[in-house]
């Protein structure tokens, strides 16, 4: 397939300039391009140099007198027009730059502030216990009645009046955390939503009972196996029974909030056996449950002391459930 291109005087001019042709060569070029002698003579009368064509574009001032390339380029020319910048011997072309519109810095600052606001962390949810009463609730819940209170002067006077010898000084009962606490935290999937509350409550217990008298163990669902760290480090709970007299605190839901796709929770009979084992060691068992009392397993309330882990719980509710302090409870 052959292509045809219209030849115009601009082609003749570019060829002459490129080849730096003398008069005889110009005549030969015109003949090759098929131009009439009159067209070639008219084009040759208008010499063109690269210096006469300044740069064009945004921010560069140019005059009409500098552009003498009428018809120098075809509308359908397949090749790029040679730019003055392609020559290495060009002199510096003076140019006048146009001032750009000034941008306010405030716009950039506002954009940065909005970006920082969008990436800011959301505030933590409120704890389950009222923050102003947490220490009082925990200390009252985990305190155990001991016989290390102040002297019972009524008994002292009575024995002295009967002439009985005081082999030991009778003392009034007193609630204390001196027996230590073993904290069992349920790490099952159903309790993941309460992970932050578990961490807060654990820190409060350690501060109140003392780090040296607090043992924290993790389990999942039921504490047949427990331990610190990952599940691969857990071992049988029988090997980690607390010393006699230690208060055992459970952070669990007894399967109340278990999703349908998880395995069935431990039966109540298994929990009663667990409570009986601790009772034989004189270890009171108390459970912090984040669900309302009407959802608690009622057949366990006689073996385990339940505390509603909720903002509605106050010290008066704890006193009604525990009295002056924890005691080992017999299961029915």
Distance CA 149, CA 90 (A): 105
**pLDDT reported for residue 67:** 42
User: If pLDDT is split at 50, 70 and 90, which confidence band does 141 have?
Assistant: very high
Q: What's the token pair of residue 299?
A: 């057949």
Q: Maximum CA pair distance of the chain?
A: 155
CA 43 from chain centre, in angstroms, equals: 75
Phi-psi region of 163 (alpha: psi -120 to 50; beta: other; left: phi over 0): left
User: Cα(305)–Cα(327) distance, rounded to whole angstroms?
Assistant: 10
pLDDT reading at 71 higher than 50: no
pLDDT score at 68: 47
Distance of CA 93 to the CA centre of its chain: 57
Q: Among residues of the chain, what percentage have pLDDT more than 70?
A: 65
- How much of the chain, in percent, has pLDDT values that exceed 90? 39
Q: Tell me the three state secondary structure of residue 326.
A: strand
pLDDT of residue 236: 96
pLDDT of res. 206: 95
pLDDT tens track for 287-301: 999 999 999 999 999
Q: Where are the domains of the chain?
A: 9-86, 134-322
| Residues found in the chain | 332
What six digits make up the tokens of 131? 């923050």
182 compared with 83, residue with greater pLDDT: 182
Q: 289 has which bridge partners?
A: 308
Lowest mean pLDDT among 5-14, 95-104, 320-329: 95-104
Helices then strands, counting H and E runs in the chain, come out as 9, 9
pTM: 0.58
Over residues 176-196, the mean pLDDT reads 92
Give the pair of three-digit tokens for residue 2.
């052959």
pLDDT in tens, 33-42: 777 665 556 5
A 10 A CB-CB count for 74 gives 15
The pLDDT score that the predictor gives to residue 238 is: 94
**Third-level CATH fold of 134-322:** Rossmann fold (3.40.50)
Is it the case that residue 195 has pLDDT exceeding 80? yes
The whole-chain average pLDDT of the chain stands at 77
């Amino acid at each position: 397939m052959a292509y045809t291109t219209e030849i115009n005087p601009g082609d003749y001019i570019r060829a002459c300039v490129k080849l730096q042709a003398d008069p005889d060569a110009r005549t030969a070029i015109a003949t090759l391009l098929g131009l009439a002698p009159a067209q070639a003579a008219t084009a040759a009368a208008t010499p063109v140099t690269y210096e006469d064509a300044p740069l064009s574009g945004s921010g560069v001032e140019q005059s009409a007198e500098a552009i003498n390339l009428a018809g120098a380029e075809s509308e359908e020319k397949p090749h790029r027009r040679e730019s003055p910048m392609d020559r290495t011997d060009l002199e510096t072309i003076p140019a006048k730059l146009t001032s750009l519109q000034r941008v306010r810095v405030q716009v950039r600052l506002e954009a940065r502030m909005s970006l920082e606001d969008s990436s800011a962390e959301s505030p933590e949810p409120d704890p389950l216990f009222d923050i102003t009463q947490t220490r009082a609730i925990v200390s009252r819940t985990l305190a155990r009645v001991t016989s290390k209170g102040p002297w019972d002067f009524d008994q002292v006077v009575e024995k002295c009046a009967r002439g009985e010898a005081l082999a030991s000084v009778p003392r009034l009962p007193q609630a204390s955390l001196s027996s230590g606490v073993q904290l069992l935290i349920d790490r099952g999937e159903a309790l993941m939503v309460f992970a932050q509350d578990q961490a807060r409550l654990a820190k409060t217990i350690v501060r109140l009972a003392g780090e040296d008298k607090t043992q924290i163990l993790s389990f999942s669902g039921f504490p047949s196996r427990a331990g610190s760290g990952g599940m691969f480090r857990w071992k049988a709970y029988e090997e980690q029974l607390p010393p006699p007299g230690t208060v055992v605190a459970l952070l669990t839901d007894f399967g109340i909030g278990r999703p349908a796709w998880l395995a069935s929770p431990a039966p109540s009979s298994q929990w009663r056996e667990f409570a009986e084992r601790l009772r034989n060691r004189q270890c009171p068992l108390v459970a912090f449950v984040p669900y309302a009392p009407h959802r608690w397993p009622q057949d366990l309330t006689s073996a385990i002391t339940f505390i509603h882990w909720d903002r509605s719980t106050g010290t008066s509710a704890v006193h009604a459930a525990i009295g002056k302090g924890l005691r080992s409870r017999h299961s029915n």
